A and B are shown apart, each in its own frame.
Chain A
Amino acid sequence: MDQRNSDDGSNCSLACSDAMAEPTETLVLAAQAGDADAFEQLLSDQYDTIYRFALHWTGVVADAEDIAQETCIKLARALPSYRFEASFSTWVYRVVVNCAKDYRRKGARHNAQETAGDGSDVTLDEASRSVESQVSVLETLLMLDELPDGIRETLLLVHAEGMTHEQAAKVLEIKESTVSWRLHEFRKRYRQALSDGVINHD
C-alpha cells in the first residue's frame, strides 16, 4: 500500500519514506526465482514511487514516464543481483536515481553537436532541476553556479521523498554526514541568493 499521497510537506518527513511499500521477503524471493507474476506485483507496488521521484527530478511528465519505464526494465534485469543488503525500497530508489542520471546523459546524446563531457553544463543542470517548478529554477540555478555534484538527488530524496539523512545516505551509498553537508551547502547558497535578491519567496 502506498500512502504517500499527502504532499503538503507539513509533518510527514519521516512518515513518508516509511510509508513506502516494503514488499514481503517472500514476494521478492518468488520474483528472484523467476516468477513473473510476483515480479509484476512487486513492480506495480513500486511504480508510483518510481514515477513520482522521476517527476520531481525532471518536472516533465513525459520524461518522468520514460525514466520510470527504464527503471522498470532495469529492475527486471537487476533483480537477481539484489542481495537483501539494503531494504528493497532503498534498492529501488538507488536504481531510479541512476536511471534518472542516465536519462539525462542520454538526452544529451540526441544532438550530435553537443559538446560531450562538458562538466559545467552538467552542474548547472543538476542545480536547476533540483528545485523544480515553484522556486524560480532559473534564478536558483544562476546563483548556484558551481553547485557540487550530487546535491540534486540528495535534496530530492530528503525534501521531496521525505527520507531521513540516514535513509538518503543508504540510497546514495554515501556517508550520512555527506548528506547533511550537501543539504547544508544548499541552504547556504539558497540563503545567499535570497539575500542577494536573486530569489524571492512568493
Chain B
Amino acid sequence: MTEDDKLDATLRQMLRRSEVPVDPDVKRRSLSVAREVFEQHYSAVESGNNESSQGNRSQDELRASKVSPEGQGFWQRLRLIFGINPNQETQNMNTLPYFRYGSLATVGVSILAVALLLQQNRYLQDSQPAQEIAQSGIEEVVVTASRLGPAEVKEELASDRPLVAKRRADAQPPAVEFASAASAAQPTADRALAIAQGKPFSGADEAAGFTPRVFRDSRPEVELNEKGRDRFPTYEPNSVKLVSEDPISTFSADVDTASYSFTRRRLNNGVLPPADAVRVEEFINYFDYDYPLPREKDQPFAPSVALVDSPWSDDRLLLKIGIQGYDIATESKPRSNLVFLLDVSGSMRSQDKLPLVQRSMEMLLTTLEPSDTVAIVVYAGAAGAVLEPTPVSERQKIVEALRRLSAGGSTAGGQGLRLAYELAESQFDPDAVNRVILATDGDFNVGISDQRELKSFIERKRSAGIFLSVLGFGEGNYQDALMQTLAQNGNGVAAYIDTLSEAQKVLVEESRSSLFPIAQDVKFQVEFNPSQIREYRLIGYETRQLQREDFNNDAVDAGDIGAGHRVTALYELTPSGSSNPQIDARRYERSVRETSSSDEIAFLKIRYKAPGSKQSQLIERVISDSDRTSLVGDTAFAVAVAAFGQLVTGARYTGDFSFDDVIDLAQRSKGSDPYGYRTEFIQLVRKAKTAAAMSITN
C-alpha cells in the first residue's frame, strides 16, 4: 500500500463517517413535490410538441380563460397560462436559456402569445392599456419562452410551420423590434393578426399549425426555503390579571437585548419581525435610562418607581419599575479570564457574521487590561484552540489569531464548548471574572445536541465559577431559544449583534455590564393592593415568568445584572374605581372583601444574590400615589418603546395607539441621546410603519 493509498483510505474514512439516515417523511415530501412539478412541467412540454390530446386540453384551457371572471388580475392570468414566475431562474443544466441564442422563432412565439392575450383581455378596444401591456408583457413572455431547451429551438427552426407573428398593425410597436421576423411566415402572422383583431379563432386555424405553448411552473416548496431557519420560542403575550384573584406577579430580571437588535435587522430589510421574535422587555432594556445610582455598594442597586397615565388608554395607568446596578470603577475592576468560543462553521461565512465577530472581538480587546487573559477556541467540523490563553499585553498575537480565522464546515458547538471551558478552567482565578464568550449564528448541530444536556453542562460550570455569555450573529438560522437558554443558564447575557455599532455598544460601552455581574438571580415580585388596583398586566417578560413560591427559593435561577446594567419593567394597571375595566365583575362575588384599607398601590420586593453568594437578599419598597408623575423624559421613552413592542406583536391592548403616536412620544422624550440609539429607534418605528402597511396591502 503506497503512502497515497494510505492517505486516501484515511480520507475515505473521515468523509464517510458522519451518516444520518434518510428521514422517510422528508423523502416522501420531496418525491411528491417533484412528482407534481414533473406532471405539470411534462404536460406543458407535451402540449407544445404535438397535437396530442393533452395539447388540445391546453388549448381548451387557454380559451376557457377567455371567459374567466373579469376580477382575475391580468398578470395573475398571464402567470397562470404561461407559468411565468419572474423570480424563476433558468437554471436547468441541460436547457440553457435559448433566448440568448437569438432565436427569432422564440420572439415570434412571444408576440403571438401577447397578441392572443390582448384579445383575451378585450384590451383592443381601448388601445392605450393594450400598448402598455404589450410593452411590459414582452419581457415576461420571453422569460417563459426561454425555458425551452436549445434542442427545441432547433426543432422549431427546422419545422415547416414556423411560429412567427407580425406585430399588430394598429397597436404601437412593443419595445422590441421584430420586423424581420414578421416577414418569415405570412400565413401564421395573418392568423395571429386575426386573433389579435378579435376574429373568431376557429379549430381550422388550430389544425393549420397554431399551437401555443403552455408552460406552468410551480415551486412553492422551494420558495419556502428562502425564508431561512431562524427559530424563536413561541409565547403568548401576558394577559390581564384580576388583582382580586391573582394579586401577585413574579418574574425574573432580563438584561438581554438580542430581540431588539434582531428586530432592527429585520426592519432594516423592510420586513416586520415574527411576533415570537419580539420580547418587549428586551426592547425596553435596550436603552439607557437615567436611574438614581445606589448610594452604597452593599446594596448593588436602587429601585426607581414611576406611576403615569397610560398614553393609549384614559382608564389605565402605567407603573414603571426600574433598577440600576452600581458601576464598578475601572481601578477596582477584577481581572478577566476570557475564552472566546467562536463558531466558524460554513454558515458563518457572510459579512455580518464571522468578519463582524472578528472586528467585534478586536473592539472588546481595547476594553481589557494588559493582565487579563484571552484564549480563542473555534468550532466547525471539529473544535480546536487557535489561541492558548494569552495576556492582553500581547495584543498583536491575539489580533493575528482572530484575523486568521475563516468560516467553513458543519457545526460542533458542544465539543467546542467543552474545550472552551477546559481552557477557562486551566486559567481559573477565583478573584477574576472567568467567562466563556460564545459567538455564533446559533447552530449547534453536532456535539452536545441535546439541549437539556447542554443546559446542565453549563449549569455545572456556572456553579464552578465559569460563566457564559452568548453573542448572536447573522440571520437565516438564528436559534433564539437556544441562545437564551445557554446564556440564562450560564449567568450571562445574550446579545444579538447585527452591526459594528451594536458590537461597540455591547462589547465596549457595556463591557463591564456584560463581564462583571454585580447581582445574581435577580427576581421581582409585586403585590397589588385590591382596594386600589383592579387589574394589572405585565408588559413583556413572558419568557421570564416565575412561580410565586420561586421568589423566596434561592435554588431557582433567575437573571443576572452586570455592573451598570439597568432593568425596567412596566405594568399596565386599571384602578379599582375604573368605569371601564377589561374584565367584568363577577356576578356571584361578594362585593365586600376583606382588604387592607391602606392607600398603598402595590408592594415591590426584589431578591438578588451577591456574586458567588448562595443566600439571597431582599429589597422592599412601597409603591404609593406619591410615585405619580407625568409622562415625560425617560419614563415616556420607555413607554414609547413598550408601545412599539406591543404594536409589532399585534397591538392587543394598545387601542388605536399608532406608530405615529409612538414616534411623537419618542421624539418628545428622547433627550440628549448621546449615542443616537433613541434617534435610531424613531427611524425604526418609521420603517415598521411602512413594513406594516406593506404587509396589509399584500
| A binding-site residues for B, Cβ under 8 Å | 7-10, 13, 34, 36, 39-40, 43-44, 47-48, 51-52, 55-56, 58-62, 64-66, 68-70, 72-82, 94-95, 98, 102, 106-115, 121, 124-125, 127-129, 131-139, 141-142, 155-156, 159-160, 162, 183, 187, 190-191, 201
Cα-based distance from A41 to B350 in the complex (angstroms):
39
Which listed residue, A113, A115, A155, touches B11 by the CB 8 Å rule?
A155
Chain A residue contacts of B34, Cβ below 8 A? 39-40, 43, 69, 72-73, 75-76
Interchain CB contact under 8 A, A39 and B35? yes
For B7, list chain A residues within 8 Å (CB). 187, 190-191
Interface footprint category on B: 35 or more
Given the complex, which residues of B lie within 8 Å of A74, measured CB to CB? 91-93
Of the listed stretches B377-385, B391-399, B649-657, name the one at the interface; the rest are far from the partner chain: B377-385
**With a CB–CB cut-off of 8 A, which chain B residues contact A125?**
346, 349, 407-408
Residue of A nearest to B7 (CB): A187
Are A138 and B30 neighbours in the complex by a CB distance under 8 Å? no
In the complex, are the beta carbons of B38 and A76 less than 8 A apart? yes
Task: Report whether A128 and B409 are in contact in the complex, using a CB–CB cutoff of 8 Å.
Answer: yes
In angstroms, Cα B7 to Cα A65, docked, is: 30
**A154 CA to B77 CA, complexed, in Å:** 45
A48 touches B22 (CB 8 A): yes
Whether the Cβ atoms of A62 and B409 lie closer than 8 Å is: no
Contacts of A9 in B (CB 8 A): 9, 12-13, 15-16
Indicate whether B329 reaches chain A with its CB closer than 8 angstroms: no
Query: In the complex, are the beta carbons of B409 and A72 less than 8 A apart?
Result: no
- A9 — nearest CB in chain B belongs to which residue? B12
Complex contact A187–B4 (CB within 8 A): yes
Scan residues 111-161 of chain B and give those whose CB is less than 8 A from a CB of chain A.
149, 151
The answer on a CB contact under 8 Å between B30 and A131 is no
Contact with A along B212-246 (1 / 0, CB 8 A): 00000001011001101100000000000000000
A37 CA / B350 CA spacing, docked (Å): 42
A interface, by DSSP: helix, strand, loop or mixed?
helix
Residue of B nearest to A40 (CB): B35
Q: Say whether B33 faces chain A, with CB atoms less than 8 Å apart.
A: yes
Identify the 7 closest CB pairs spanning chains A and B, nearest first. Answer: A128-B408, A137-B409, A59-B410, A137-B381, A72-B34, A9-B12, A81-B94
Query: CB distance B15 to A159 under 8 Å?
Result: yes
Which residues in A have their C-beta under 8 angstroms from that of B363?
A: none
Q: Which listed residue, B12, B43, B228, B269, touches A13 by the CB 8 Å rule?
A: B12
- Answer whether A124 and B94 are a contact pair too, CB < 8 Å, given A56-B15, A58-B346, A155-B15: no
Shortest A38–chain B CB gap in Å is 10
Nearest-CB residue, chain A, relative to B42: A34
User: What is the minimal beta-carbon distance from A119 to any residue of chain B, in angstroms?
Assistant: 13
Partner of A44, one of B31, B38, B384: B31
Q: Considering only CB atoms, which chain B residue lies closest to A94 in the complex?
A: B93
**With contacts A128-B380, A137-B408, A138-B408 known, what are 12 further pairs, Cβ within 8 A?**
A13-B12, A48-B22, A61-B20, A65-B30, A72-B31, A72-B34, A74-B92, A79-B38, A95-B93, A115-B351, A160-B16, A187-B4
Contact B409 A59 (CB under 8 A): yes
A75 to B350, CA, bound (A): 30
Given the contacts A80-B45, A128-B408, A110 and B350 also touching, CB distance less than 8 Å: yes
Most buried by A among B4, B46, B221, B225: B225
Ordered by A's residue number, 23 sampled pairs between the chains whose C-beta atoms are within 8 Å are: A36-B39, A40-B35, A43-B31, A43-B35, A47-B22, A47-B27, A56-B16, A60-B347, A65-B30, A72-B30, A78-B94, A107-B476, A110-B226, A110-B475, A113-B350, A113-B351, A121-B349, A125-B408, A133-B412, A134-B14, A136-B382, A141-B380, A190-B7
Interface assignment of B298: CB less than 8 Å from any CB of chain A: no
Interface residues of B (CB under 8 A from A): 4, 7-20, 22-23, 26-27, 29-31, 33-35, 37-39, 41-43, 45-46, 91-95, 149, 151, 219, 221-222, 225-226, 228-229, 269, 344-347, 349-352, 378-384, 404-412, 443, 445-446, 474-476
Q: For B9, list chain A residues within 8 Å (CB).
A: 9-10
Q: In the complex, are the beta carbons of B352 and A113 less than 8 A apart?
A: yes
Given that A65-B30, A74-B91 are known contacts, is A128 also in contact with B407, CB under 8 Å in the complex?
yes
Smallest Cβ distance from B352 to chain A, in angstroms? Answer: 5
Distance between Cα atoms of A34 and B443 in the complex (Å): 42
Question: In the assembled complex, which residues on chain B have CB atoms less than 8 Å from the CB atom of A77?
Answer: 37-38, 41, 92, 95
Q: Which residues of B contact A95 (CB under 8 A)?
A: 93
Could you say which of A62, A70, A94, A137 contacts B222, with CB atoms under 8 Å apart?
A: A70
A98 surroundings in chain B (CB, below 8 A) = 91, 93
Q: How far is the CA of A94 from the CA of B351 in the complex (A)?
A: 30
A70 to B7, CA, bound (A): 34
How many angstroms between the C-alpha atoms of A112 and B271 in the bound complex? 13
How many whole Å from A186's CB to the nearest CB in chain B?
Answer: 8
Separation of A137 and B269 alpha carbons in the complex (Å): 32
Cα-based distance from A43 to B349 in the complex (angstroms)? 33
| Contact, CB under 8 Å: A132 / B31 | no
Contact between chains at A133 and B31 (CB < 8 Å): no
* Chain B residue, CB-CB nearest to A50: B30
Assuming the contacts A112-B269, A124-B407, A136-B382, asked whether A82 and B20 have C-beta atoms less than 8 A apart, the reply is no
Q: Shortest beta-carbon distance, A9 to chain B, in Å? A: 4
In the complex, residue of chain A having the shortest beta-carbon distance to the beta carbon of B43? A34
- CB <8 Å contact, B30 and A47: yes
In the assembled complex, how far is the CB of residue A161 from the closest CB belonging to chain B, in whole angstroms?
Answer: 9
- A63–chain B nearest beta-carbon distance, Å: 9
Of B151, B222, B476, the most chain A CB neighbours within 10 A belong to B222
- Are B474 and A133 touching (Cβ within 8 A)? no
Within the complex, which residue of A81, A114, A131 is in contact with B151, where a contact is CB–CB below 8 Å? A81
Q: Which B residues are in CB contact (< 8 Å) with A155?
A: 11, 15
